[in-house]
Amino acid sequence: MSTQARSRSLMRGFYPSWFLAPAVILYVIFFAVPTLVSFYFSLTRWTLFDHEFIGLDNFVEFFQDPQLLKGFTNTVIYAFVTSAAKIVLGMSLGLLLTSSLIGRGYLRAVVFFPVLVSTIGIGLTFKSLLDPFHGIVNGALGAVGLPQPGWLTDPNLALLSVAAIDVWKGVGIATLIYIAGIVAIPEEYFEAARVDGASAWRIFWSITLPLSRPATTTVVILSLIGGLRSFDLIWATTGGGPGYSSDVIGSVIYKQYQAGFYGLSTAGNVVLFLVVTAFVLPVFAVLNRKQVDL
């Protein structure tokens, strides 16, 4: 073994590997073990007092559930609507807040503020704002003679209303990421383009948009995962209702758990895990490959 190699292994061993132990122990106890155990319990009928192995029956049951199909399509709609809106709005706000603007710092804080508020708090606040008869939103619409829809109580509107609240809450993060991405683009490109007489539109289309792709990737991944796993906001505003009309996979699983179907709800979590992986892995691969190609 050469001296160089030995010194490298010494460098690697500079921190004893047991420094990892606290993190590994916590990870194993609170993440790895429950995850593995949950794979087993998803194959059982579990009452918390005892359990009986029933093979794949829970999965069969889960996919026959009338709520699930609705919950599944709703989840996909919700994830894509919120992701798309966060990209478009986040990008626009990011551009606006990186330009020279009076009160830029203040506006950045304002856009980011909803991110800091508790989701349940936001849900309950909007539930009262959007109340069809006593809410301030419909009060304002009524005052100027516009129709007053049942934002959270109309089965056709409920899901989209919650998605809109989600966008209001989450666009601050997307904006922040875009601001960082846009600021990181070297100023020389813009100068060169301006010297060549490029229009603002051309600069955006040919420089800002392609060079902020890492930011876009991050926003897409984060909001897609967030959208697929969405639960808290929906639970606080509509509880999946009216009926099943705004149920998502997360709320369907929680309802199974509430009902005491512990095996079934664990199976639902396994399904959710697989669905999120199935959506996010390809998206991640595609977006990252393009980044390398660039």
Partner 1 sequence: MRGVRSTLRACGFGVTIAVAGAALAACGSSDDSGAGGKTEISYLVVAREGSKAGAQAEIDAFEKANPDIIVKLDTFPEGADGDNLVKTKLSTGEMDEVFNYNAGALFRALQPDNQLTDLSGEAWAADLPDSYKKVVSTDKGMYGAPLGQSSGGGVLYNRKVYDQLKLSVPTTWSEFIANGQKIKAAEPDITPVLQAYGDAWTAQVPVLADFANVTKQDPAWAQGWTAGQKKFGQSPALTAFTHLEQLGKSGLVNKDYASMTNIQALKALADGKGAQYPMISDQLPTIAQDSPDAVDDIGFFALPADDAANTTATIWQPGGLYIPRSAEGDKLEAAKKFVAFVSSSEQGCQIQSDTGVAIGAFVSPVCKQPSDVSQAVKDVQKYLDDGQVAPALEFLSEVKGPNLDKITVQVGSGITSGAQGAKQYDDDARKQAQQLGLSGW
Per CB under 8 A, residues contacting partner 1 are 29-30, 33-34, 37, 40, 45, 47-52, 61, 66-67, 131-133, 150, 152-155, 239-245, 254-255, 257-262, 264
Closest separation between CB of residue 34 and partner 1, Å? 5
Q: Which is nearer to partner 1, 47 or 199 (CB)?
A: 47
Q: Which is nearer to partner 1, 34 or 282 (CB)?
A: 34
Query: Which backbone phi and psi does 186 adopt, to 5 degrees?
Result: -60, 135
Q: Which is nearer to partner 1, 220 or 225 (CB)?
A: 225
Q: Which is nearer to partner 1, 48 or 294 (CB)?
A: 48
Q: Per the structure block, which two tokens stand in for 290?
A: 């393009």
Reference 36, options 271, 285, 270; nearest CA is: 270
C-alpha–C-alpha distance, residues 58 and 66, integer Å: 14
Q: Which is nearer to partner 1, 67 or 208 (CB)?
A: 67
Closest separation between CB of residue 65 and partner 1, Å? 8
